[in-house]
């Protein structure tokens, strides 16, 4: 994967494969820590596009890591919403 160092994994925050790899090497990160350090998966789409890829990055970087160990945790709002909407009741 010589030409993959500059390959963008997280499109929203333009985080590359190389950045993820060096961050894991340096800090021995958990999934959560890797995201917080690089902002991968924390951009506008909320990881909707790159999340499965990030799981696979961790899978390949961390020995004996299994995707089944990643808790599937999403934070609301899971879609962009304007401040005016929040709290409005409609029924």
Residues that bind other proteins (CB under 8 A): 1, 3-4, 6-9, 11-17, 19-20, 22-23, 26-27, 37-40, 44-45, 48-50, 52-53, 56-57, 59-60, 66-68, 70-81, 85-91
- What region does 46 belong to: left with phi over 0, alpha with psi -120 to 50, or beta? left
Whether omega before 2 lies within 30 degrees of 0, making that bond cis, reads: no
Cα dist from 35 to 42, 82, 88, whole Å? 7, 25, 32
Q: Tell me how far, at minimum, the Cβ of 64 lies from other proteins, in Å.
A: 15
Question: DSSP state, 2?
Answer: G
Q: Tell me how far, at minimum, the Cβ of 50 lies from other proteins, in Å.
A: 6
């Amino acid at each position: 994967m010589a030409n993959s160092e500059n390959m963008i994994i997280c499109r929203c925050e333009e985080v590359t494969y190389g950045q993820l790899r060096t961050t894991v090497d340096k800090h021995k990160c958990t999934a959560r820590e890797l995201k917080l350090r690089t902002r991968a998966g924390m951009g506008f789409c909320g990881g909707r596009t790159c999340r499965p890829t990030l799981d696979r990055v961790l899978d390949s970087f961390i020995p004996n890591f299994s995707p089944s160990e990643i808790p599937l945790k999403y934070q609301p709002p899971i879609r962009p919403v304007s401040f005016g909407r929040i709290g409005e009741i409609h029924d």
